[in-house]
Amino acid sequence: MNIADYYRQLGLNLGASLGEVKTSYRRLARMYHPDVNPDERQAKDKFIAVTEAYKILLRVAPPQTAVPENSATTSTTYKKSKPETPSPQNYPPRQIEVRVTRKQEQEKNQPHLSEVEKQLKQNYYLHLKQLLKHKRYPRAIALVEGLAQKIPLDWEVRQWQAIAYQRWARQLIEERQLDKARNYLKKALKTDPHNRALWAEVERDFRQLEKIY
């Protein structure tokens, strides 16, 4: 099952918020609980299914509703809803940017970086860009995970990390390493759960997985 299937188990659309997940689960759990339906095997199976879906979505559902963009407005190069303004880092704008949601809260929580940290971040970004361009995904993941340890609260770094996971997962799908690909898609969503464009790309990858299975 992919993420969309877990949402469907709870009667929700892909990207429904954590609050909606909890509300729907409580309603369905009361409806199908074995104590309420002691002699109905079908109700017991449904209760098990919705409980499993609930546990998965607790880890990946966004606090606010994040509806994926349709495929006509997304591609493997993600656009960013944050206004393009000059920054000291002067990062290249296209290769690994993603759409940012909840922008004001993210900017508020963005850590203040020293000049050394800013330079480190820029150097890592440029290196990461080259690794992704040449499809050296394990190296890219190791690089960005190292940066995430050095600057753990930086939401841009989390975005880069999620993209590295998603790109590697897509390559693994092509190589038919499907279980491993599924795990990295889940890691991408858990790393950057509020990114709408990322959700759309990951959902497309999950659909590709289902076709192969």
Residue 114 has pLDDT above 60, yes or no: yes
Confidence of residue 177 (pLDDT cuts 50, 70, 90): very high
**What does the pLDDT read at residue 85?**
38
**What does the pLDDT read at residue 89?**
41
Q: What is the pLDDT of residues 6-22, one digit of tens each?
A: 888 899 887 778 888 89
pTM: 0.53
Confidence of residue 104 (pLDDT cuts 50, 70, 90): very low
Residue 170 has pLDDT above 90, yes or no: yes
Average pLDDT score over the chain = 77
Q: Is 72 exposed, middle or buried (0-12, 13-18, 19+ CB in 10 A)?
A: exposed
Pick the CATH number of 71-212 from 1.10.3470, 1.20.120, 1.10.10, 1.25.40: 1.25.40
Range with the poorest average pLDDT among 151-155, 160-164, 185-189: 151-155
- Say which CATH architecture domain 3-60 belongs to: Orthogonal Bundle (1.10)
Helix axes 155-174, 178-191, angle to 10 degrees: 160
**What does the pLDDT read at residue 57?**
81
Sequence ranges of the domains in the chain? 3-60, 71-212
Distance CA 51, CA 34 (A): 12
Q: What is the pLDDT of residues 48-95, one digit of tens each?
A: 999 988 988 887 667 654 444 443 333 333 444 443 333 434 433 344
| 5 CB neighbour count, 10 Å cutoff | 14
Range with the poorest average pLDDT among 104-113, 133-142, 204-213: 104-113
Residue 40 has pLDDT above 50, yes or no: yes
Residue 105 has pLDDT above 80, yes or no: no
Question: Three-state secondary structure along the chain?
Answer: CCHHHHHHHCCCCCCCCHHHHHHHHHHHHHHHCCCCCCCCHHHHHHHHHHHHHHHHHHHHCCCCCCCCCCHHHCCCCCCCCCCCCCCCCCCCCCCCCCCCCCHHHHHHHCCCCCHHHHHHHHHHHHHHHHHHHCCCHHHHHHHHHHHHHHCCCCHHHHHHHHHHHHHHHHHHHHCCCHHHHHHHHHHHHHHCCCCHHHHHHHHHHHHHHHHHC
Distance CA 167, CA 185 (A): 9
- Residue that wins the pLDDT comparison between 157 and 63: 157
**What does the pLDDT read at residue 87?**
41
**What does the pLDDT read at residue 124?**
87
Contacts of 159 (CB under 8 A, 6+ apart): 96, 97, 98, 100, 192, 195, 198
